[in-house]
Amino acid sequence: MNERAGPAILAEGLVKHYAGREGTVEAVRGVDLEVSADEVFGFLGPNGAGKSTTVRMLTTLLTITSGRAEVAGVDVGADPDATRRKIGVALQEAGLDPRQTGRELLVLHGRLFGLSAQAATKRAQVLLELVEIEDAADRVTKGYSGGMKRRLDLAAALVHEPPVLFLDEPTTGLDPASRLTVWDELRRINAEGTTIFLTTQYLEEADQLCDRIAIIDDGLIVREGTPARLKADLRARRGGDQPVTLDEVFLDATGRTRARAAGEVQEVTA
Amino acid sequence: MSATLALGRRSLTEAIRQPDALFMTFFIPIFFLIVNTGQAAELFPSSSTDFLEGQGYGAFQLPITLLLAASFGMAALFLVEEIEGGYFDKLRAMPIPRYAMVMGRLIAEGVKCVTIASLIVLIALPFGITIASGLFGFVLLVGLTALWGVVYAGFMQLIALKTRSAAATNSGGLIFFPLLFLTPNFVPRDMLTEPMEVAATFNPVTYLMEAMRSLILDDLDWEKILPGFGVVAVLGVIMLVLNVRMIKRYD
């Protein structure tokens, strides 16, 4: 699917400032990223570190204060519409229209991406079967469970078969079974050649799914590499043979103790 | 254009699937028509009240009923719900023209207003209210009501886009009171007290109401009708420009 020569996602000195009540908030302070085509890239960080802000800039939902970004070879700031054709987006909240049925929603999205009515209907059916909600396809989404909403949201992001998929905490709030279903789905989508950029709070999820990860803290990337590499680096720094988990890498990278990570949450929102 | 129509169709489905909201849009104006007419009809008997042009007081009250029905701004409340729920961002991440995101809802609001206004007029007919300007006048009356509904919903959408809050959007709807009631809604403008007459003269809705009233009570009197269309045209252009600008700068 990916025939591009360059990286699927490229960010250079990405900065986002907000005007807050107490002056300017520097949500992202110069993020550099390079994600290869066909990779599953995990983007981790504590609450308020700048994960969602970065995703929202890369997906054209937020303007970039300074720096530049390219997605699927398209300059995000210069040509947001072309960028939108190349990406699928599933944000933190499974953003669905509560008064549409699952099928109607997927057909509408197909139409909005330029498919004919017939093609959109066919594509909707394929996706409904793929995410296993065809039984509920003709019910309004208001009555869907959290897992069904997430899966439908994922299907909606795939309607136009985008080369790059952005998922902002796709499994937050799901029960373990639903989470495993979403993981399987992501592996399958990635195997078909889609680059996946994934933010998550669950380090096990990143460990299981991601080829590489980056950890952002206070608006800056503080670690980047494969999960195995990052764990090996920390083990080497500590010395000894004790195995290191990704949780420990995360805590080390963000300078947080377990207690502080659990108790200190500061959210920065758009 | 296809994105606008697809989003318009979705908004209509949304309205139909929330029948309680539609019912209130229809029921409250009818309630006020009955109550206002019941309270003041004896004061203004048709036989001796020149401004009624031979009709009952209900005909004089019909324009405010139609304007009330068109001033609920449900489109903005659905929009703010969508912003809070995250679906609006989902749409923003799609390659659809920004104007389509504004126009889709407004087209649906227009269709909804045409339906509700037609129903209200049809219900009024058996109670002795006639449209003196005939079938063409009826079309103009319903069209003017729908255009006002679109303009009003568009301004409410601006509040929704700016505040992103259901509570603030609801409060913004309070603007509806001065707009609809600082008008010659019970008597013609020249019978109002001076302060009220000044306020009504500066209120654009007055010209809309007078145009609608003229369509109901007179033959086609373009001197009264055109200012009404002029008001919705000017406000409509302002509303569209502001909406598209707001949605393009939405961050």
Can you give the CATH number for the domain in which A20 is found? 3.40.50.300
Q: Would residue A134 count as lying in a domain? A: no
Contact flag A140-B89 (C-beta cutoff 8 Å): no
pLDDT at A3: 47
Domain extents in chain B: 2-249
Look at B176 and B114; give whichever has higher pLDDT: B114
Q: Say what percent of chain B tops pLDDT 70.
A: 100
Among A62, A84, A99, whose Cβ lies nearest the Cβ of B14? A99
pLDDT for A258 equals 56
With a pLDDT cut of 90, the percent of chain B lying above it is 69
User: B154: Cβ–Cβ under 8 A, 6 or more apart, which residues?
Assistant: B102, B106, B236, B239, B240, B243
Residues of chain A predicted below pLDDT 70: 1-5, 257-270
Decide if A85 and B2 are in contact by the 8 Å CB cutoff. Answer: no
Write out chain B residues lying below 8 Å of A100, CB-based. Answer: 10, 13-14
Query: Is residue A115 domain-resident?
Result: no
Please give the structure tokens belonging to residue B43: 């004061």
Residue of B nearest to A96 (CA): B87
Query: How far is C-alpha A138 from the chain's CA centre?
Result: 28
A108 touches B at CB < 8 Å? yes
Per-residue pLDDT of B178-190, as tens digits, reads: 888 899 999 999 9
A256: domain range? 9-96+144-263
How high is the pLDDT of residue A261? 52
d(CA A25, CA B68): 44
- Residue A269 is predicted with a pLDDT of 42
- pTM attached to this predicted model: 0.86
Contact residues, chain B, for A81 at CB < 8 Å: 95
Structural domain count, chain A: 1
Q: Identify which of B6, B10, B89 has the shortest CB distance to residue A61.
A: B89
Strands A164-168 and A195-199: parallel
From chain A, the residues in CB contact with B85 under 8 A are 93, 95-96, 98
Angstroms from A96 CA to nearest CA on chain B: 5
Using a CB-CB cut-off of 8 Å, the residues of chain A touching B6 are 108, 111-112
- Say if A45 falls within a structural domain: yes
State yes or no: pLDDT of B136 exceeds 90. Answer: yes
Which residues sit opposite A28 in a β-bridge? A16
How confident is the model at residue B243, as a pLDDT?
Answer: 93
pLDDT confidence of residue A175:
83
> How deeply is A153 buried, as exposed, middle or buried, from its count of CB atoms within 10 A (0-12, 13-18, 19+)?
buried
Q: Which of A89, A98, A108 sits opposite B6 (nearest CB)?
A: A108
Residue of B nearest to A79 (CA): B95
In three-state secondary structure terms, A257 is coil
Greatest Cα-to-Cα distance within chain B, rounded to the nearest angstrom: 63
The residue that leads in pLDDT, B70 or A269, is: B70
Mean pLDDT of chain B: 92
Residue B95 and residue A84: Cβ atoms within 8 Å? Answer: yes
B94 and A96 in contact by Cβ < 8 A?
A: no
Give residue B149's pLDDT: 95
- Phi and psi at residue A220, in whole multiples of 5°? -130, 145
Q: Is the pLDDT of residue B56 over 80?
A: yes
* Best to test chain B binding among A99, A138, A139, A268 (most B CBs inside 10 Å): A99
**Of all helices (H) and strands (E), which one includes residue B227?**
helix B222-249
